Amino acid sequence: MNLAAATNENLAHTSNVLIYSSMAVYTLAFFAHIAEWVFGSRSKVGRTAAALTGADAGADASVKVQVAQKGGGTAVLDRPKIVTRSAAGSRDVPDGPGAAGGTFKGDLYGRMAISMTVLAFLVQVGGVLARALSVQRAPWGNMYEFSITFSTVAVGAYLILLALKKNVRWMGLLLVTTVLLDLGIATTVLYTSSDQLVPALHSYWLWIHVSTAIICGAVFYIGAVATLLYLFRDSYESKLANGGQPGSFAQSVLSRLPAASTLDKFSYRVNAAVFPLWTFTIIAGAIWAGDAWGRYWGWDPKEVWSFITWVAYACYLHARATAGWKGRKAAYLALIAFGCWLFNYYGVNIFVTGKHSYAGV
């Protein structure tokens, strides 16, 4: 074994160690987020915010919520800014107080979870870079490399939103859980030893086309999480508005989420922002196919499902602009569109044979 081969093997081993280390830190972040939600469930702020609907919520956005503190004193918390829902059946409801529920311990564990998520993200970035150095190419030539890079970008997008002061900390537990599942599948089922690719993939388009596909998938994932939670929160608000009594789970968890209006707008803006990049991804893939295979479009399964995904998201964006399809109907379309993206990645790569199969699992 020459020196270069030994170096590459050591880098591949380092990459594996770093990926497993990031999983360990993500696990700590997972438990910290659990503690955040547990301590937040004891907050009276969450129950007070949950009881506010319709005219009560829209009357005065500057109303203060009084929270009893030890010793008989009180602390005044600003109620989150009220946002009018753009979906059908407009309802003015304030955002929930967040996973921590306004409690000191909940907020402390939430901050610990974010800190550990940042550390795990940095370790995971190191693992992806070490993998790239070991193969001396872009670290997304097979499903294992795509998976570890995808989850890295998803966490990075989440941390960027946090750095921009966006209200997304409620997503932390779901994100960390998904990342752990993704890395668990990648390291046990999808793992592929470091190797070079077939000549057709040796192109600068590998950096352009696949990197944009990863970014789109990560952002689509964030939009899908917000859409799914929107459906739950919308049902919760509807039950309150109709005089119903939500169950204990809804009172404890759903009451602390952002209002349905906030989740609806967030998911729409995220999906709309990344849709042009997904369009570019398909165009870039067609150009690369022309260079590699001598044709721009050949109805390969991966090409077909990429286009189906594009159509699904286009239908969702169009539905959001159509009065009769706003709200829950559009949300269902968004989830179907993300399901198409997931099948395009996992289903097509594993169960369908095509020109994109030669990269290996």
Instruction: Give average pLDDT by consecutive 10-residue segment, the chain, 361 residues.
Output: 75 93 97 93 56 41 35 40 46 83 91 97 96 87 90 96 92 96 93 71 81 94 95 91 83 90 93 95 89 78 92 92 80 95 87 59 55
Going by C-alpha positions, the residue among 200, 146, 113, 127 that lies closest to residue 350 is 146
Q: C-alpha angle with apex 145: 139 to 149, nearest 5 degrees? A: 80
Q: What six digits make up the tokens of 233?
A: 């929160």
Distance from C-alpha of 185 to C-alpha of 143, rounded to nearest angstrom:
10
The pLDDT value given to residue 83: 38
The pLDDT value given to residue 56: 42
Going by C-alpha positions, the residue among 95, 327, 331 that lies closest to residue 227 is 331
Going by C-alpha positions, the residue among 34, 179, 77 that lies closest to residue 118 is 179
Q: Where are the alpha helices (DSSP H) in 60-171?
A: 104-135, 143-163
The pLDDT value given to residue 69: 37
DSSP-derived secondary structure letter, 134: H
Give CA torsion, residues 340, 257, 37, 46, to 10 deg: -160
pTM: 0.83
Distance from C-alpha of 46 to C-alpha of 255, rounded to nearest angstrom:
6
